[in-house]
Every structure is written in structure tokens, then in C-alpha cells.
Structure 1
Amino acid sequence: MPILSASVGLTRYRVVEEVPDSLIREIPEQLSKFAFQDIDHTSEERSFGWVNFDDMLDDKWSMSPPEKGQYFTFSLRLDTRRIQPAVLKKHYQIALNHEMAEAKKEGKNFISRDRKKEIKEQVTLKLRARSLPIPAVFEVVWNVPENRIFLATTNSKIMDMFEEYFNNTFDLNLEPLTPFFLAMETLGEEAVQKLESLDPTYFVG
């Protein structure tokens, strides 16, 4: 769900390093450098990158800048092509039947394992080129003064992708603000040992 919705699932992070002013000034430039690359006219399986928070089609921030007061806002867009297994199986079998018919003309009664693998790869590429990628957008809000980042998802795979791509873009590391970390931040590092020894309480039998 978008961040501006009535309800949304969020993952909170802190930036581990201190962010220098020089890097803050370069944030728009880095977003553009690592912007989303469209794959509509290719056979690529997946593409991801940064886009405008206000419009997922705007990968040049021509509609609005990423700066919003003390915040930077942008989105991680992920486009993925998915081929249904039944569709791949059908067209792979059609290609195999055609290959076997051609082989029999040459007096052969089998298709090698390597050739079967090659045929499957060719069929997969053809089907990808004929299918449209499915877009997904995950919004990001970066509170620069407080060194906090909000990502509009709790999906672990998207979180991993976001953390790695954020590091590649800004050379900064993120740490999820889990309840354990928040308690440690509030109580201080001297409370770590006590926190680690706590057992969960189950309120439902």
C-alpha cells in the first residue's frame, strides 16, 4: 500500500553512518544515476531502480523534485516478467516436437540433453519478449536530519533488494529498526545483555 494511504505496512531503518552534507546535496544526482531502466521493448526478465515518488513513470524527476522539506522521497520500482509454467511447458513441447520431426528427417531418433536445454532457453526468451512486465512500486521516505528511512513494504525479498540497492547508490548501510534495536537505543548499550536474555511472553494459550 502507498505511504499516503489510510493504512500501510512500513519497514523502518536508520542509516548506520553519518551522512555528510556533500552527499545530501548529491542525492538527486545519485537517484538519477541509479534510476529505473524500462524493459518493455526487451526480453529482460527483471529491472529495478529509483523513480519519482509522485509518478512511477517519471525516472527523470521532471514532474517534481525528490526534496520535500527535510525529507527526500522516491520509490523503488520493480518490473518483472512472469511466464506461467503451463504456458512454458506447452510451447516447449511444441518446439521439441518440431525438433524431433526435423531430426527424423536426418535419420535421428533422439534429441541431446544440451539441445533440449538450448531449446527451452530459446522458448523462454521468445515468451518473455511477448509478455509485458508487471510493475510494482515501493515508496521511500528519507528523514535526513533524524537519519531515518521508511520503506512501504514488509516483504523480506524487497527489503533485501532495497538495502543492497540503497548501499550501491549512496554507499551507505541501513539497519532495520527492530523492537530490539529500538529498546537498545532507548535504554543504552549497557542494556544489551539484559535484552538478549529476555524470553517472549505468549498471551494466547
Structure 2
Amino acid sequence: MGLLNGPLTFSRFMVVGRPPSDFSEFIDQRIKRHAFHGIGTDAQEKIMGWVGIENLLDTDFRHASYAWGDYLLFSLRIDRRSVPPSLLKIRALEAEQQHLKETGRKKIDKATREQIRDSVRQGLLGRTLPTPSFYEICWSVSNGSLLFTNLSEKVMQDFQDLFKASFDLTPLPYVPWDPQVMDKETAGNVEALQTADAGAVDPKTLGREFLTWLWFKSEERNGTILIPGVGETEINLVRRLVLESGDGDYSESVVCQGMHADLKEGRDALRRGKKIKEARLKLSRDAATWEFTLKADRFQFQSLKMPVVMDMKEEQENRDGRVLERIYLLETVIRSMDRLFAMFVSLRLPENWQHERTRMEKWLQSSSGQ
């Protein structure tokens, strides 16, 4: 599974609210109360609850199996039933014909047709086996941050609803330009960008501008950047880049792929005003390397490959240490990207941006990008 091993895709949240003083007992009671207890024999379309992260059948959470040091690790299970539209259509037509035959009528009014359709649908749901899905959670209690291993808006909303009902705390989706999650300096810089006399910046576009700046930095000094509070870090764009212009039905995308995608097509798209929506990045520091796709609009990580942690299949005590080491490596790449973003926002201020922008324009117009 992603949090314990293998590639990892996740969205980020900040947990808002004041937890009770007896937090450990509170969590133990609430996670068990809202554990997954199976889907009934009726026609429920969806049922969800918490299960163990290692044993997906664990709904007892004995010995606080969700507790790993300062972290709470567990999974969300959602079972859904659905009826294929084509099956519902044919069964409803059959039921309507049967109704006409039994009543001797020639037509069915709208209300009756809807009742028949609903009855057929409920009957089909009751005979349909649910499909289970599992999503992992890593909750850092000390700093109120949380990772959820899915990017779907629908699934994230289900998670937020159950989490709030379970723990009386609110998980807010994280983006680094949200004043509720930023440090004071970065929050002040974002506010200054919004109110700048010479061209105010929409915070929602900052993620895309950030990825464009990262592309530029990846080709300057061989991609080496001195990140405040982190140190010398090398960052490169690899294999895939998605650019977009416009909104909604009027959006137009360009996808560039290749081992290191010389990305000539991507440069042309930038010159035409497109913004980078997502990029595959490789970040290296010391002897560690991370590779992932960063989605600019929500700052979500997709298919993150982390530095190798030794085999998890060993004694429990050592294994627990390996899991915590993996979480440490996960937090390291997240912190690096957040600080890179804060660095970009500082440079993006009007008094700093002209110099950086001039260099970026020269880079963009050059044939080699050097």
C-alpha cells in the first residue's frame, strides 16, 4: 500500500479544531464507533467507515493499531453499489409494460413512471454486490497535517464528511496560498501580490506560475537551488508536462512527454500564453531522490516514488522504525516543495520580480533554454 510501501498519490489537509485534553482515549472511542461495520441487506448505495491500514479487515483497532509514534495511520473503506444505466432502463420498461397489463391502462403518468423506476432501481441495488474501495490516511497529530491517498473530489468529500462526524474536527484541503495554512511571512507576501498596484496576481494561478518558474530553475545551475531552511537541492523536470490555457469547456491542453522531454513543444506553448498545469519532477538532496507529478491547482502529489527504505518484512520493532522513516522522507519532500513555493512567492513580489522575469524571458526565448 502507498503509505507503507510503493508509489504514493495523495491530497493534503489541515485539521482544524481543538481536540479534547484526553485525546488518546477520545480517538480510540471515536475511530471504533465509526469503524466500517459492513453493508446491510437493504439497498444502501454507499456505506463507509474506518479500517486498519495493514489489515483491511481490522475494525476493532485493538492495542491502538492506528498509532505509530506521533502519527495516526488508518484507512477509509467505502463500499458502493451501482446499477448499470442500460440494465435499469430495460428493467424499468419491462415493469412499465407489466403495470399497463395489470391495470388495463394505455398510458402511464409521470409520477407513476418515476415510482416504477425507483422501485426497480431499489430492487436491483438490493441484488447487487457492493464494490469496496480503500484509501489511506496519515494524520500528524502534533502539527495538524493530514495526507489522504486520493485525488477525487467526490471521494475527498466523503472523507471530509466522515472525518468531521467521527472526530468533531474539520479537515481543510491544503494549498500553500491559503492564508489559513501559510506562515505569516508567506501570507503577507501573497496578500501583497493580490493588492499590488502593478498587476495584482490571482492566488489560484500561483501554482501554475510556480511550475513555470521551477522549469526555469531546473535549467539554471544544473537545477541546483539553495532552499532556505532546507539546503542545496537539485530539481529537474522529467518525462511529462501538461500545459493549459482557458477555462472549463474552452480550455486547451498540450501534453509533452519524453525521457527528459526537451519540451520544445512546451516552450512554444508557454510563449503562446499557456500555463503549466502539472509536471513530473525529480528532486534530489544529499543521497536521496524523489520523483513525482505535482498538480499545480491543488498542490497534489501523484505517483510519488521515494528513496528506498529497507525491507518492511522484518521484526515488528524494526519495521515500525522503517515506517516512521518512510513518513520522515515523505514529509521531507513535502516540506521542500512548500519552501520552494514560499521562495517563489517572495521573488514574485513586484519589487523582486522584474529581474527574475527578465532572466526567465531570456531563457524562454533561447533555443537551448540555457
TM class, shorter-chain normalised?
0.7 to 0.9
1:125 aligns to 2:126 (yes or no): no
Per the alignment, do residues 2 and 132 of structure 1 end up closer, same or farther by CA in structure 2, a change over 3 Å counting?
farther
Tell me which amino acid in the other structure corresponds to 1:82: S
Question: Which of 154, 167, 171 lines up with 1:170 in the alignment?
Answer: 167
C-alpha distance after superposition, 1:98-126 (max 9, x if no partner): 1111122xxx3222322222211111111
Tell me which amino acid in the other structure corresponds to 2:110: R
**Structure 1 residue 20, shift from structure 2 partner:** 3.9
Q: Is the 8 A contact 1:52 1:64 kept in 2?
A: no
> SS at the partner of 1:180?
coil
C-alpha distance after superposition, 1:75-111 (max 9, x if no partner): 111111010001001111111111111122xxx3222
| Distance (Å, rounded) in 1 between the aligned partners of 2:109 and 2:149 | 48
Give runs of aligned pairs for residues 11-22 of structure 1, distance below 5 A: 11-22=11-22
Give runs of aligned pairs for residues 1-205 of structure 1, distance below 5 A: 2-39=2-39, 41-62=41-62, 65-104=65-104, 108-181=105-178, 184-185=182-183, 187-196=185-194, 197-198=200-201, 200=206, 201=209, 202=212, 204=266, 205=269
**Structure 1 residue 175, shift from structure 2 partner:** 2.5
| Distance (Å, rounded) in 2 between the aligned partners of 1:8 and 1:142 | 15
> SS at the partner of 2:97?
helix
Moved over 4 A (4+): none
| Distance (Å, rounded) in 2 between the aligned partners of 1:110 and 1:188 | 66
**Structure 1 residue 66, shift from structure 2 partner:** 1.3
Tell me which amino acid in the other structure corresponds to 1:71: Y
Q: Is the 8 A contact 1:74 1:140 kept in 2?
A: yes
Which piece of structure 1 moves more, 26-35 or 191-200? 191-200
| Distance (Å, rounded) in 1 between the aligned partners of 2:174 and 2:110 | 49
Tell me which amino acid in the other structure corresponds to 1:184: M
Structure 2, gaps ≥5 residues long:
195-199, 216-265, 270-370
The size of the alignment, in residue pairs, is 202
Tell me which amino acid in the other structure corresponds to 1:97: Q
**Structure 1 residue 63, shift from structure 2 partner:** 8.8
The structure with higher relative contact order (CA 8 Å, sep 6+) is: 1
**Structure 1 residue 72, shift from structure 2 partner:** 1.1
- TM normalised by structure 1 equals 0.86
> SS at the partner of 2:59?
coil
Tell me which amino acid in the other structure corresponds to 2:38: D
- TM normalised by structure 2 equals 0.50
| Distance (Å, rounded) in 2 between the aligned partners of 1:25 and 1:37 | 21
Larger Rg belongs to:
2
**Structure 1 residue 18, shift from structure 2 partner:** 4.2
| Distance (Å, rounded) in 2 between the aligned partners of 1:134 and 1:68 | 29
Once superposed, what is the RMSD of the aligned Cα atoms?
Answer: 2.4
| Distance (Å, rounded) in 1 between the aligned partners of 2:151 and 2:4 | 16
| Distance (Å, rounded) in 2 between the aligned partners of 1:186 and 1:57 | 43
More strand by share: 2
- Identical-pair percentage: 26
**Structure 1 residue 165, shift from structure 2 partner:** 1.8
**Structure 1 residue 52, shift from structure 2 partner:** 1.6
Structure 1, gaps ≥5 residues long:
none
C-alpha distance after superposition, 1:57-78 (max 9, x if no partner): 2222259721122211111111
**Structure 1 residue 195, shift from structure 2 partner:** 4.5
